[in-house]
Structure 1
Amino acid sequence: MTQEPAYRYFLTYSGVRLPLNLVGPLEPPELENRNTYFRAAYDPEGRLVSVEKLVYGEPELVHVYRYRADGTLAHARVTLGDEETEFACDEAGAPIRA
Structure 2
Amino acid sequence: MTEAMQGRCRYFLTYTGVKLPLKLMTELEPAQLENRNTYFRGYFDDEGRLVGLQKLVYGEVEMEHRYAYHANGALKSVEIVDADGELNGMAFDENGEPI
> TM (normalized to structure 2)?
0.88
Percent of aligned pairs sharing the same letter: 54
Pick one of 39, 47, 54 that aligns with 2:56. 54
The answer on 1:83 being equivalent to 2:86 is yes
Which stretches of structure 1, 4 residues or more, deviate above 6 A after TM superposition? none
Identify unmatched segments of 5+ residues in structure 2: 1-5
What residue is the counterpart of 2:67 in the other structure? 65
The answer on 1:95 being equivalent to 2:98 is yes
> Is this contact kept in 2: 1:17–1:94, CA < 8 A?
no
> Is this contact kept in 1: 2:12–2:40, CA < 8 A?
yes
Query: In structure 2, do the counterparts of structure 1 residues 35 and 86 end up closer, same or farther at CA, with 3 Å as the change threshold?
Result: same
> TM (normalized to structure 1)?
0.88
> Is this contact kept in 2: 1:11–1:23, CA < 8 A?
yes
**RMSD value over aligned CA atoms?**
1.3
